[in-house]
């Protein structure tokens, strides 16, 4: 097979090591060498740019974009799958080569990407978020009718469950349907108008049942968790990642450190809600008020978690906001005190560890999959990243970016 050398630029290897001038050689879809003065049969000129492992977004919803109840009611059921195809392409074009879909995408969407029927990043899927009755994923409206963002269908069961026995069965159904991760809402949220992000949802026995069933199948559990009580309940029972983490307290941060859990901040999400409201989207006032109220606490929680040494992986909740804006999250992370290098690591090597694919991708080292992104400018600058993505590669083949 021919050897392709990415040369003339800087190499960021996906770790916390400082970027350095160098070359990356790819052969047969894998990285075979990283160093200086390397050669190949073909060359990709990276002058004025840096080569990085492909980026990860550990929290997206590709079957929706800026949802609201009126839009949900007026949207044909099958349109979500065509939207997913468009959203996956937008995501790939900004250098995101791996995503974890946190609810919405089913096995068919994932299979369409893996078979090459549609372009997109590699996917892990949660299928649906588990929610208690009246919780963040219960789409019952005060008129007495449900208006779900994710209508149940054969590949995506309802996520509303109560009690350990119901939980056990639903987790098994999700595993049967192809889930790569189990997602649970252990608190209320912002987009659900009739619950409070600070209130804990599900009791310990229910969360423990989810984790036990997932563990038996070799899977992890991710928790939508915003209030401290629900965060700690998730951590007590073995959840691997805390999504959002808006109201972390010192005890919760200590528990994350003790248990080696990750924080996926999604700083992008409440800002996306406010941007949509400012543009005139018909969102309930309760949703807008909650998005405004959490922003400062959210930023402070991420800052304190980072200072304490909590592991962080990049996630955006894109779908709540616009797909293709994923890389805005890195600049938001630096606003909490993370350095640009730490933000890049959260988006590459750390994210790969969270998703259990670090032996396959997420860093530039011999044997790793050649999912690469070439970005104009310096890795010490994470502003305006989406517009600086020159080219995106999966298995060494260019699939996206400005020049695709």
Q: Are strands 3-11 and 42-45 parallel, antiparallel or unpaired?
A: parallel
Task: Please state, in angstroms and rounded to a whole number, the distance separating the CA atoms of residues 169 and 9.
Answer: 52
CATH of the domain at 181: 3.20.20.140
Task: Please state, in angstroms and rounded to a whole number, the distance separating the CA atoms of residues 372 and 364.
Answer: 9
**Concatenated DSSP letters of 358-384:** TTTSSS-STTSB--EEEEES-TT--TT
pLDDT per residue, tens digit, the chain (404 aa), is 689 999 999 999 999 999 999 999 999 999 999 999 999 999 999 999 999 999 999 999 999 999 877 788 889 999 999 999 999 999 999 999 999 999 999 999 999 999 999 999 999 999 999 999 999 988 877 787 777 889 999 999 999 999 999 999 999 999 999 999 999 999 998 877 778 889 999 999 999 999 999 999 999 999 999 999 999 999 999 999 999 999 999 999 999 999 999 999 999 999 988 888 888 888 888 888 888 888 889 999 999 999 999 999 999 999 999 999 999 999 999 999 999 999 999 999 999 999 999 999 999 999 999 999 999 999 999 999 999 999 999 999 999 987 54
Q: What pLDDT is recorded for position 219?
A: 98
**In a 3-state reduction of DSSP, which class is residue 319?**
coil
Residues 57, 229, 317: CA angle, nearest 5 degrees: 20
Residue 258 CB burial class (10 angstroms; 0-12, 13-18, ≥19): exposed
Radius of gyration over alpha carbons of the chain, in Å?
20
> Taking Cα atoms as reference points, which of 297, 240, 291, 289 lies closest to residue 264?
240
Asked if 53 contacts 350 with a C-beta cutoff of 8 angstroms, the reply is no
Q: In Å, what is the CA distance from 86 to each residue of 10, 109, 314?
A: 31, 12, 22
In a domain, residue 344? The reply is: no
Q: What pLDDT is recorded for position 248?
A: 97
164 and 31 part of one domain = no
**Residues 6+ positions from 33 with CB-CB distance below 8 Å:** 23, 24, 25, 366
156 and 169 part of one domain = yes
pLDDT, tens digit, 9 for 90 and up, residues 143-184? 877 778 899 999 999 999 999 999 999 999 999 999 999 999
Q: What pLDDT is recorded for position 140?
A: 79
126 and 222 part of one domain = yes
Q: What pLDDT is recorded for position 1?
A: 66
Which token pair is 192? 């659900």
Q: Are strands 129-130 and 122-125 parallel, antiparallel or unpaired?
A: unpaired
> Taking Cα atoms as reference points, which of 202, 197, 204 lies closest to residue 248?
197
260 and 373 part of one domain = no
> Taking Cα atoms as reference points, which of 273, 266, 305, 300 lies closest to residue 102?
266
**Concatenated DSSP letters of 83-101:** HHHHHHHHHHHTTEEEEEE
60 and 180 part of one domain = yes
**In a 3-state reduction of DSSP, which class is residue 223?**
strand
Residue 46 CB burial class (10 angstroms; 0-12, 13-18, ≥19): buried
CATH of the domain at 387: 2.30.40.10
168 and 291 part of one domain = yes
First and final CA of the chain: distance in angstroms?
A: 23
Q: What pLDDT is recorded for position 288?
A: 83
Q: What pLDDT is recorded for position 69?
A: 78
CB atoms under 10 Å from CB of 142, counted, come to 7
47 and 59 part of one domain = no
Which token pair is 51? 């080569």
Domain boundary among 311, 326, 341: 326
Q: What's 54's DSSP letter?
A: P
Domain boundary among 300, 326, 352: 326
pLDDT, tens digit, 9 for 90 and up, residues 341-373? 999 999 999 999 999 999 999 999 999 999 999
What's the predicted TM-score (pTM) here?
0.95
In a domain, residue 353? The reply is: no
42 and 32 part of one domain = yes
Residue 23 CB burial class (10 angstroms; 0-12, 13-18, ≥19): buried
Domain count, the chain: 2
170 and 252 part of one domain = yes
Asked if 223 contacts 215 with a C-beta cutoff of 8 angstroms, the reply is no
Q: Where are the alpha helices (DSSP H) in 78-227?
A: 79-93, 107-114, 164-176, 204-216
Task: Please state, in angstroms and rounded to a whole number, the distance separating the CA atoms of residues 373 and 44.
Answer: 12
| Domain span at 29 | 3-53+361-400
165 and 294 part of one domain = yes
In a domain, residue 340? The reply is: no
- Give the residues across from 100 on adjacent strands: 124
In a domain, residue 331? The reply is: no
- Residue that is written with structure tokens 């309760």 in the block: 286
Q: Are strands 55-60 and 96-101 parallel, antiparallel or unpaired?
A: parallel
79 and 121 part of one domain = yes
């Amino acid at each position: 097979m021919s050897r392709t050398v990415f040369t003339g630029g800087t190499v960021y290897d996906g770790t916390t090591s400082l970027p350095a001038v160098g070359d990356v050689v790819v052969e047969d879809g894998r990285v075979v060498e990283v160093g200086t003065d390397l050669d190949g049969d073909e060359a990709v000129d990276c002058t004025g740019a840096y080569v990085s492992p492909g980026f990860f977004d550990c929290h997206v919803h590709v079957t929706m974009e800026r949802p609201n109840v009126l839009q949900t009611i007026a949207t044909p059921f099958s349109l979500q799958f065509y939207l997913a195809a468009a959203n996956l392409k937008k995501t790939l074009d900004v250098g995101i080569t791996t995503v974890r879909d946190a609810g919405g995408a089913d096995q068919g969407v994932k299979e369409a990407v893996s078979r090459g029927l549609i372009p997109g990043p590699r996917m892990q899927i949660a299928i649906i978020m588990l929610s208690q009755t009246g919780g963040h994923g219960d789409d019952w409206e005060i008129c007495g009718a449900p208006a779900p963002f994710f209508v149940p269908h054969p590949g995506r069961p309802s996520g509303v469950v109560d009690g350990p026995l119901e939980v056990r069965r639903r987790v098994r159904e999700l595993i049967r349907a192809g889930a790569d991760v189990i997602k649970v809402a252990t608190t209320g949220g912002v987009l659900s108008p009739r619950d409070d992000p600070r209130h804990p949802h599900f009791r310990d026995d229910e969360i423990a049942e989810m984790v036990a069933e997932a563990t038996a199948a070799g899977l992890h559990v991710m928790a939508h968790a915003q209030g401290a009580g629900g965060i700690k309940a998730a951590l007590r029972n073995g959840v691997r990642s805390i999504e959002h983490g808006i109201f972390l307290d010192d005890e919760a941060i200590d528990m994350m450190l003790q248990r080696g859990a990750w924080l996926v901040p999604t700083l992008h999400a409440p800002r996306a809600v406010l941007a949509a409201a400012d543009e005139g989207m018909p969102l309930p006032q309760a949703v807008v008020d909650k998005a405004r109220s959490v922003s400062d606490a959210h930023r402070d929680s991420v800052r304190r978690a980072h200072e304490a040494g909590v592991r962080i992986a990049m996630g955006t909740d894109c779908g709540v906001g616009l797909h293709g804006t994923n890389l805005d999250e890195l600049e938001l992370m630096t606003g909490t005190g993370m350095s640009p290098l730490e933000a890049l690591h959260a988006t590459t090597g750390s994210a790969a560890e969270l998703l259990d694919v670090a032996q396959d991708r997420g860093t530039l080292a011999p044997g790793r999959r050649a999912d690469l992104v070439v970005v104009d400018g310096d890795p010490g600058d994470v502003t305006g990243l989406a517009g600086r993505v020159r080219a995106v590669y999966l298995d060494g083949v260019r699939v996206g970016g400005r020049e695709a």
